[in-house]
Amino acid sequence: MDKIMDRFLEYVRIETTSDESSTSVPSSSGQLALGKHIAAELKSLGLEKVNIDNNGYLTAALPANTDTDLPVIGFIAHMDTSPDMSGKNVSPRVIEKYDGGDILLDPAEGIVLSPRDFPELSQLIGKSLITTDGSTLLGADNKAGIAEIVTAVEYLINNSGIPHGEIRIAFTPDEEIGRGADHFDVDGFGADWAYTVDGGPVGELEFENFNAASAKIIINGRNVHPGTAKNKMINSIHIAHELGGMLPVNQRPEYTEGYEGFFHLMRIDGTVERTELSYIIRDHSMEEFNNKKSILQEAVDYINKKYGQVAELTLKDSYYNMREKIEPVYYIIELAEKAMIRLGIEPMIKPIRGGTDGSRLSFMGLPCPNLFTGGYNFHGKYEFITIEGMKLAALTIVEIAKLAAEEQ
């Protein structure tokens, strides 16, 4: 497990930000570069069937070391980082034996990682933290998962006395822009079930995620000189604000938690003549998910009735709650629970307030709940992870493989 930090630090220095505007697969060249780097590493470790395809999907296999007929288990992570913040020139900082105080990330800009803002830090006194330098995200989402999977299979190779079935691993591109499962070959992967290693704090175990949709609204206005605008101008920016005000304020991300869903305005770009809004819609309940889409449609219909046909709405479902696909094979959750308990970890089964490749893969025939990485505050400059948490994630993977062999 000693290599896990160095491995992670090496991965995060390769820029792999996904690009939603790109039509290529993967959407950014850095993902392919990282994939090739990891493929060479996997071959050097002795893994078999190491392959990176033209779409940037990297797969490999660790053969079973027993003649017992055992299930094939997969472990999956994604190579891209979120476009929400720069992942270029990541310069991680290692804070050994964190003392519980403020961490000055960027002295020039006065950017501070503080337990006043992030109370979870108070539970991590004495741990070793890896943080950003305040100018980029860290990339623990999901390069920590990659480092943990690679370290786990290396551990199994170096400790050949631990019986295990065949282990399949996959590292995918473009998860952050909703395309991670688009070209995933479930049949070719050949696992009976899998786990994404893409969660947060130690102990997280998740098999419920949001139902998700994206919404694009274009509002077409009419621009004339403001001096002669009376009864002529239609200001698309004002209409956009009016439409946003029709959505429930208490159903925004900053006011929701647990199973509560939301409307999230991701972006607004506009002029008097034309304004474009980008929303995402999320809810764990399919009924409430559909209700939210109806609320947005009704708001657009009202705007069109009031101002004429000025608004165009495009709604697109992204993924669905995997719970219905996991419950029939709930033993894969129980297996992960037992593995954590053996390691002294308290499992925290909770809904994902987001999505993973696993949600789509579950609907594609590969049940795929989510394991923790040990990271916090993904997608921004306050992202950090503990080295101890990373090691526990890798050991949980090992323990799952051991338990699956023992229970046959």
Q: Identify the active-site residue in 148, 166, 175, 206.
A: 175
Distance from C-alpha of 392 to C-alpha of 408, rounded to nearest angstrom: 24
**CA-CA-CA-CA torsion sign (23, 379, 89, 372):** negative
> If you search the block for the tokens 């992870």, which residue do you land on?
385
Q: Is 120 a catalytic residue?
A: no
Q: Is 80 a catalytic residue?
A: yes
* Cis peptide bond N-terminal to 142, omega within 30: yes
Residue 381: closest CA among 128, 175, 91, 178: 91
Q: Identify the active-site residue in 19, 80, 174, 198.
A: 80
Annotated catalytic residues are 80, 175
